[in-house]
Amino acid sequence: MTPEEFSQALAALGWKQSDFCRMAGVNKSTPSRWVTLDAPIPEWVPRFLGMAGEVQRLYETYVKPPKAPRQAASK
Phi-psi group of 31: left, alpha or beta (phi > 0 → left; psi -120 to 50 → alpha; rest → beta): alpha
User: For residue 71, what pLDDT band results from cuts at 50, 70 and 90?
Assistant: confident
For 39, which DSSP code?
Answer: S
pLDDT digit string, tens, across residues 29-48: 999 999 999 999 999 999 99
User: For residue 72, what pLDDT band results from cuts at 50, 70 and 90?
Assistant: low
